[in-house]
Amino acid sequence: MASNLSISNFKFPSTLKYFFIVATTFMFLNCGLFFVAPYFDSNYILMNSVTDSSWKKGGEYLFLGDSRSHQGLIPSVFEDTLAANGIKSTAVNLARPGMQIPFAYYFSQRVFDEADIQPKNIVVNFSFYLLGGKQWMKDIYFSYYRPSLKEVVLALSMKLCSFNKATKWYVKTRLGAWMFRKSANSMLNNYFLNYKAFEKEAASVKKMRVEASFDYAKGYVSRGDSHITAADLKPHAYSKGYARKSSVFFKYLKKMLQETSARNINVYIYRFPWPKMRNDDEGFHEILDHYWGVLKRETQGSKHVYFLDEKYFWPNENFVDPLHVNQIGAERLTTLLAKKIAKHKAEETARYKKMNFAQVN
């Protein structure tokens, strides 16, 4: 009689056993990398501070834009200035380095979907040199921002990226072994080959880990009090070609403004300050006015969109480098914008009251 195969003498196939070991090891490695990433990768810290839940209390004012807003608009100063002008409100900063228009859309949509306090106003800068090109997207956003499936599908339908790149974006940002390969290797190489560089990078990441926390400054990151000198400034080399191949960017802008209009959200687009030397830099005003005109043309017909037209040229003491303000400049910029917006709201209120009075009478 043939014997029956019992569970007690069943042998797990060796190939499956090895596969199980490899898969389990990879899973733990992946989870471990995400756990330690805030200790060695500053880009992950910045993007994770958007995809986590720390900011989801929200605020009536949402700051968007690139590093100039990220390091230039201070929610607490903005709130205090509005309060001094009779407006009690809250603000949150979700601007991030290298943010281009498509990700201003994605971040705003995430806020609309998830924030407890919904924004009634958006304050945003669109630096003209980021109106084109995708290098920042490739290096930071497609590498570290973890998209939902809905966001990836939209990127495909809007032709922001190809199917292969969209798939890579979705998968890479969920696999730590892939996402952190370069940054982990860099830190390890510095640890063994250049320990001073390792210490410097580790200190920088630690500082970012603290300051990027919304409990610390509601999304704002300070650049400190150091400032540039005249020797740091060279004649500009900007051109009018940045936005020539940016039709997909402006499709996202229109989509974003359609959403804000439907929600009756005011959008304030402001001009970031420049070092005073740029005021006399040959052709620089022409560059600024050209791109300001491009933005106005692309937003024409959108409701509740307000351009703060004034240009600002400030002393070197307000800038940590030729593009970014330091802490002093950030306080100055935030206070100035809050006062301008408070004044605008007061004028709008007075105008509506006058219209209602005229209708009644």
Instruction: Determine the length of the chain.
Output: 361
Helices marked H in the chain — which ranges?
Answer: 14-36, 42-51, 67-70, 75-84, 101-114, 135-136, 142-144, 149-157, 163-172, 176-179, 181-193, 195-211, 214-217, 247-262, 284-298, 327-360
Closest CA to 217 of 348, 338, 59, 18: 59
Give 1-42 pLDDT, tens digit per residue: 444 544 455 555 677 777 777 667 767 777 888 888 888 899
Tokens of 25: 């090891």
Please state the rounded mean pLDDT for residues 35-55.
Answer: 89
DSSP secondary structure string for all residues of 306-346: EEE----EE-GGGBSSSS-B-HHHHHHHHHHHHHHHHHHHH
pLDDT, tens digit, for every residue of 172-193? 999 998 898 888 878 778 778 8
Who's near 276: CB < 8 A, 6+ residues apart? 313, 314, 315, 316
Alpha-carbon 164 to chain mean position = 24
Share of the chain above pLDDT 70, in %: 94
Does 38-360 carry CATH code 3.90.550.10? no
d(CA 355, CA 276): 42
Q: What is the pLDDT of residue 280?
A: 96
**CA 69 → CA 125, 249, 270, distances in Å?**
7, 19, 10
| Mean pLDDT across 281-295 | 97
> pLDDT at position 4, please?
52
Measured over the CA atoms of residue 128, residue 141, residue 202 and residue 221, the dihedral's sign is positive
Q: Answer for the pair 267, 125: CB distance below 8 angstroms, yes or no.
A: no
Query: Across the chain, what does the average pLDDT equal?
Result: 91
Q: Give the pLDDT score at 2.
A: 47
Nearest of 211, 238, 207, 223 to residue 321 by alpha carbon: 223
Find the angle CA(209)-CA(133)-CA(180) to the nearest 5 degrees.
Answer: 35
What tokens does 10 get?
């069943």
Query: Which residues 6+ apart lie within 8 Å of 53 measured at CB?
Result: 114
CA distance 174 to 144: 9
Q: Closest Cα partner for 95 from 224, 205, 274, 219?
A: 219
Distance CA 330, CA 318 (A): 8
User: Does the structure show a pLDDT above 70 at 312?
Assistant: yes
Does residue 65 surpass a pLDDT of 90? yes
Which amino acid type is present at position 180? F
C-alpha 267/C-alpha 344 separation (Å) is 12
Whole-model pTM?
Answer: 0.89
Q: In this structure, are strands 305-308 and 266-270 parallel, antiparallel, or unpaired?
A: parallel
Each residue of 149-164: pLDDT tens digit? Answer: 999 999 999 999 999 9
Q: What is the rounded CA–CA span in Å between residue 29 and residue 177?
A: 7
